[in-house]
A and B are shown apart, each in its own frame.
Chain A
Amino acid sequence: MTDLQVLTDAERNTRFEAIAKEYGTDLYRYGLWLCGNDALAKDLVQETYLRAWKALHNLKQQAAVKGWLITILRREFARTFERKVPKFTDLDSVVIEASSDLSPADQLERKLLREGILRLPVRYREPLLLQIVMGHSCEEIATQLGLSKSAVMTQLFRAREKLKTMLQKDGVTGNIHELF
């Protein structure tokens, strides 16, 4: 356990920078998939870190940082969502692929998967993102969302089933059909 309250300003800044480096990318991804809008995702991440920095002295356990940041981001998203439902971004216009060695069929499949994720209802999308993007276990997701573990597992199963169904309906051909 690390008590951040005893840190000096310099140590606090160093710790904050480490937190930004460690979780900034994942939080952006999580925010983007949650809200479906790249500009809003950037704002959400910035606002999350700004609030985190201001409240860093409240953080008692270093191990809780990730969950803490996610909680802040989710609250911020909820506040934003209350004001205005964001429009989904055309992700193809903002996504920078890490590699471009996908075949055309795989690229189509990836595009459809992305669209499918954004079309998932939030109650399915959110636990799925916490698992895939943030690396949460089912127990951690249950804690984060205030649900039972069995409820989370049901939502995760249904989220994947819905994605597979969407891909089938969208007529993806090729090896993904082997999965069904």
Chain B
Amino acid sequence: MNFSDFKKLLGADPYSLEAQTKSARDSNPEFAAAALQAEEFERKLEGATNIQPPEQLLADILALTEQQTHQPQASKGRNTWLMASAATIFMAVGAGSVLLWQQQQYSSIEDYVQKHVAYDGESVLRDAIGSLGVSQQQVSRAMSKYATLNPELLATIQYIKTCPTPNGKGVHFVISTNDGPITVIYMPETSGEDVQPFSVNSQRAHIIPLDRGSIAIIAGSDAAATAITPFLRTGIQPLSVDT
């Protein structure tokens, strides 16, 4: 093996343990020096790529499967959904809604919103601020199972994605308003009755019940959240479960 071939091999596989490579490396100081340099560069590459994942990553992965296990399966038809709903109501009435939450990874709707915003609230906002908006197709793709949006609301959406919620999937979007960007999390299967406004990551969150599920509005102030509430209530037209 000549030096050029040896360098190509190092560039392709710096830690190659093939006997031929080792033999070549040990045969000549120039080869050995090149191998050391390649390993040094590799350590720099590994250092550069070795980034820490979000703290919540594993919990969110496991939560997704938990939700798949517990959420009503639309494909099983109306009866399954009715049974699931009945079970939910029974639990809420008989044992209090806290028990329902305890089945999930969140202790309350406030806990869910706190964790969700801590997980990707900032990065989604950042992407939304730099975005030129989203297409109707993107909105439809994210929302189609749950709701339709009126054109006025549609025009304000800067970013949209599906996301986990306490009960199955939901939709996380950011709208542009006179009060700045406002985050909205639509939770189609989560009732948001009687939840008082609360603080989350230096912002204020309001939980607003809809005909189906509820939305969390996360804005810079209570006034901003209150001001945008009628616009969102009008703009989101939930689909019935059977749709």
B11 touches A157 (CB 8 A): yes
B64 touches A96 (CB 8 A): no
- Known contacts being A98-B50, A153-B13, A157-B12, is A49 close to B123, with CB within 8 Å? no
Select one of B45, B48, B64 contacting A53, CB under 8 A.
B64
A interface bracket (residues with beta carbon within 8 Å of B): 35 or more
A113 touches B48 (CB 8 A): yes
- Known contacts being A42-B120, A45-B57, A46-B164, is A29 close to B47, with CB within 8 Å? no
Select one of A28, A110, A161 contacting B48, CB under 8 A.
A110
A residues 1-58 in Cβ contact with B at 8 Å? 13, 16-17, 20-21, 24-25, 28-29, 32-33, 37-39, 42-43, 45-46, 49-50, 53-54
B58, CB-defined interface residue at 8 Å: yes
Write the chain B residue with the least CB distance to A21: B58
Write the chain B residue with the least CB distance to A16: B65
A156 touches B12 (CB 8 A): yes
B215, CB-defined interface residue at 8 Å: no
What's the minimum C-beta distance from A53 to chain B, rounded to whole angstroms? Answer: 5
- Bound: A109/B41 CA distance, A: 11
B51 touches A87 (CB 8 A): no
Contact with A along B114-138 (1 / 0, CB 8 A): 0000011001101100100000011
- Bound: A178/B40 CA distance, A: 10
Q: Which residues of A contact B124 (CB under 8 A)?
A: 39
- Bound: A17/B54 CA distance, A: 17
A49 touches B45 (CB 8 A): no
Q: Which residues of B contact A85 (CB under 8 A)?
A: none
- Bound: A91/B123 CA distance, A: 11
A29 touches B44 (CB 8 A): no
B123 touches A39 (CB 8 A): yes
- Known contacts being A39-B124, A45-B57, A133-B49, is A50 close to B64, with CB within 8 Å? yes
Q: Which residues of B contact A179 (CB under 8 A)?
A: 37-38, 40-41
Q: Which residues of A contact B38 (CB under 8 A)?
A: 179
Write the chain A residue with the least CB distance to B45: A132
Q: Which residues of B contact A50 (CB under 8 A)?
A: 64-65, 68
14 contacts between A and B (CB under 8 A): A17-B62, A21-B58, A28-B53, A29-B49, A29-B53, A38-B54, A39-B120, A46-B164, A50-B68, A53-B64, A156-B11, A158-B11, A179-B40, A179-B41
Q: Which residues does B use to contact A, with CB under 8 Å?
A: 8-9, 11-13, 37-38, 40-42, 44-54, 57-58, 60-62, 64-65, 68, 119-120, 123-124, 126-127, 130, 137-138, 141, 161, 164
